[in-house]
Chain A
């Protein structure tokens, strides 16, 4: 784990109202993540992985406790400030890719740069670089519907990485992929992690992903049951 802490979670509790009562999805979570980590939140379905990832991504707020990302307290951020944090520093990769269906590959990857207000020249260079990282420079005009699942996820990785964010949050990124595509995607992300020092945090229960993680935070019933560093001998 790197020394500089960019994510700090203290006594975090998240509950959702259900009927007359409430369901506690996360209970007393205390964690920190440093710059350049390749970490995963692992555990069975319903253990709270995605909820924790959403809070780190400022898409949701803690019910109690504190989550600080890049020095900003998530629970205290306004909608606008949360959007700014996501826009400037966070990248997202989703299980179902969530590419914009009417955009081409190029336009999908370009999208975060448009929101950042980059000029056309900067955008073009960054998009082509990102597509080169994921090996999709020959598909720039294709629409998502014309791509395979693996290619779609590579576009999603390029979109998350194009603005060179500090943190990339990946929610079950390989759940819809076969073994070969999963390994390709994970190798790409691991390479980007080591080259760009981007922090990757996964939410996964996929064994293939777990093999790549440098740190595994196990969640069970909304609590951290184990937090372990993994000795890496080689890829996969």
Chain B
């Protein structure tokens, strides 16, 4: 108790110096939590968007469908099972290979037919509802950018139908949507399901049926195999895990800055306060007591910083979690898959673990320089003669 009392008295007595150190450390606290919150929010948002815009609650795949083998795609279609007909819970998607010729160039694409009125995926398929002569198509913004296509542009599409006959027609870009799910953007062209079935000579057929998020588990049906969202997100989740390992490096760097701030304060403190240390020993303190006081002082910096960070940081972090953080235009051009606004996501676990790690490690870092005290000659320390 005495050590705590004296350490507290020393800290409060040091006034502005203490509060500057505490403020810097509290900033480290906040940046560490904020950084993890942004990463978590980004991952969470990407996962949610992937489910909302691509995967749904799960997918029925035609038995021949293998997304990793494009050569099987021509055979990966079949009559939609009667239980999987398009409604609020099912959105059949027909996938077909095609070639487009934007600006005289050749580009392979996947045509994806989907019911314009579907409610399962949150992509603006209603734009595909059209009786126009040209095929109304919808593109993701990256696809449109890569092929220099704008709304209203025409592009020639060439495909090979179910009977092996090549055919071509003009498609009109009716809508360009922004998404941070690359799998529904890059190299994809969205078409009305009926229109695609018609031009492919595949009436009533689909390659997959996306289920709503109310249906996350289901039995396989004849020729249709159910893949739940955990299977479909497996690669995504593994990628997040890998990214988290990378994120730990940043987390560690920020923590290192906090440690250096504490270590520097302690080293400077022990050097500058050597007269005080010598006096403490002359007045009857043991070296162990002095070391304890200095270590507790360092640890108290961490505790005060945590309290200060909670006072001014919690409202800031909360505000940003609610309002989100707008990302600048052009992040797509840098190859970053990111939404317009990122909502940081903080968990109690994140805050508690960060606080504990910072507190424990700053205590250890506070202790390390104080070991010099045990080697100090008190008679030299009293006169401030130690270099």
Contact = CB atoms under 8 A, between A and B. Distances in A.
A86 B282 contact: yes
Interface string A77-119: 0011001101110101010101011110001000110111100
B6 A83 contact: no
A36 interface: no
Nearest to B383: A96
Nearest to B5: A114
B284 A83 contact: yes
Given A54-B379, A103-B9, A115 B285 contact: yes
A224 B124 CA distance: 102
A79 B286 contact: yes
A103 B5 contact: no
Interface string B262-305: 00000000000001101101111111010000000000000000
A230 interface: no
A98 B275 contact: yes
A60 interface: yes
Interface residues of B, number: 24
Contacts of B278: 98
B284 A88 contact: yes
Nearest to A99: B279
A40 interface: no
A224 to B, nearest CB: 21
B281 A83 contact: yes
Contact of B283 (A79, A84, A92, A117): A92
Interface string B1-26: 01001100110011100000000000
A223 B113 CA distance: 107
A141 to B, nearest CB: 12
Contact of B14 (A79, A102, A111): A102
Contacts of B9: 102-103, 107
Interface residues of A, number: 29
B21 to A, nearest CB: 14
A59 B280 CA distance: 12
Contacts of A60: 379
Contacts of B281: 59, 83, 86
B344 interface: no
A79 B286 CA distance: 7
B109 interface: no
Contact of B10 (A90, A102, A159): A102
Contact of A83 (B10, B14, B286, B383): B286
A88 B283 CA distance: 9
B10 A84 contact: no
Interface centre among B2, B6, B289, by most A CB within 10 Å? B6
29 contacts: A54-B379, A57-B282, A59-B282, A59-B378, A80-B286, A83-B285, A84-B284, A87-B283, A90-B284, A92-B282, A92-B283, A94-B279, A94-B282, A94-B382, A98-B278, A98-B279, A98-B282, A98-B382, A100-B279, A102-B9, A102-B15, A103-B9, A107-B13, A111-B283, A112-B284, A115-B2, A115-B283, A115-B284, A116-B284
Given A86-B282, A112-B284, A115-B283, 10 more contacts: A57-B282, A83-B281, A83-B285, A87-B285, A92-B279, A96-B383, A98-B276, A98-B282, A103-B9, A159-B283
Interface of B: 2, 5-6, 9-10, 13-15, 275-276, 278-279, 281-287, 289, 378-379, 382-383
